[in-house]
Amino acid sequence: MIWKWMAGVILLAKQAVTPDNSLDVWPGNLTVTLEGQTIVDAKRTDYEFPLPGTPVVNDVRLKEMIQRLEKQVYRAPVDATLDGWGSIVPESAGYKLDSRAFADQFYGFMVEGGPTLIEVPRRVLYPRVDSELLTIIKEKVIGHYTTYYNSSNKNRSHNIDLASKAINNHYVFPGETFSFNAIVGERTVRKGYQMAKVIVRGEVSEGIGGGICQISSTLYNAVDRAGLKIVERYSHSRNVPYVPPGRDATVSWGGPDFIFQNQYDHPVLIRSYSGAGQTSIMIYSSDEIHNKPREVPSASKKLPEEVIADRNVHQIVP
């Protein structure tokens, strides 16, 4: 009796498919485009269960497609910045997949025989800093510091320049913290960093990214002059020649970090420049900011002497 009942249900389902009882009336493929370019060609049979009657969408396969589309569609927004001459470079919006709208369109294609061509739906991602806000932020220098280095040491100079560019035009909003390691990232050969002198446990050695502590130390003194809150800062195990004693900030990937917090009620902007044996970092903010600057001793303009590195570098553990 039960088998007869189930057979009847299946028969009714087959009859309810379409007027001509044929699956051929359902569109076969769905084309998804991004700015007119095809990014997905989806076969109906790959996204439905082989059941009679109205198509049943395989949600697992649909979710996988959406995850792929999210990666293809995503474009990060870009804040307005300042170029080398101090002129404003306008912001640009970003985009992300509107996954709910896409799912609705996909179900319309699968279940209702909707359009076979879809321009992928996107949501606009707006940058945090537009030209108007930057015009306000760049008005006042609340902290600055300059250090000097021997530009004839090409590897070290190169590393300093890379780290300087990594922190340049970075914004720190009220209540946010800035982590040097998080912003600069791991110092690797793939990123362009080269071997140069580093201080490891009180000894001078060679290491990838040697020299970037001059950037973190210069930043520390600029931030301190601006009166920003120092959250985490470590000194080298020996004095360094590019800042006064006790005014350095050592950093190492997976180790010491330099972190500060913007406790003010306005965003701050870091501007960093390195070249011709000089590193300068300035902290900008609004004219309306009520910062409390600190007295910080300036660095000597005398070029640091080069220190001979320990040749047995591979036995020194950071």
Give the start-to-end residue ranges of the domains of the chain. 18-125, 139-305
197-217: average pLDDT: 75
At 249-272, the pLDDT tens digits run 999 999 999 999 999 999 999 999
pLDDT of 306 reads 55
At 140-191, the pLDDT tens digits run 999 999 999 999 999 999 999 999 999 999 999 999 999 999 999 999 999 9
181-205: average pLDDT: 80
Confidence label for 237 from pLDDT (cuts 50, 70 and 90): confident
- Domain at 18-125: CATH code: 3.10.20
pLDDT of 233 reads 97
Query: Could you write out the DSSP letters of every residue in 191-253?
Result: TT--EEEEEETTEEEEEETTTHHHHHHHHHHHHHHTTPEEEE----SS--TTS-TT------T
92-116: average pLDDT: 93
Return phi, psi of residue 257, to 5°.
Answer: -130, 160
pLDDT of 206 reads 65
Burial classification of residue 178, based on how many CB atoms lie within 10 Å of its CB (0-12 exposed, 13-18 middle, 19 or more buried): buried
Percentage of residues in the chain with pLDDT exceeding 70?
84
Tokens 């004693």 -> residue: 245
Return phi, psi of residue 218, to 5°.
Answer: -65, -45
pLDDT higher than threshold 70 for residue 238: yes
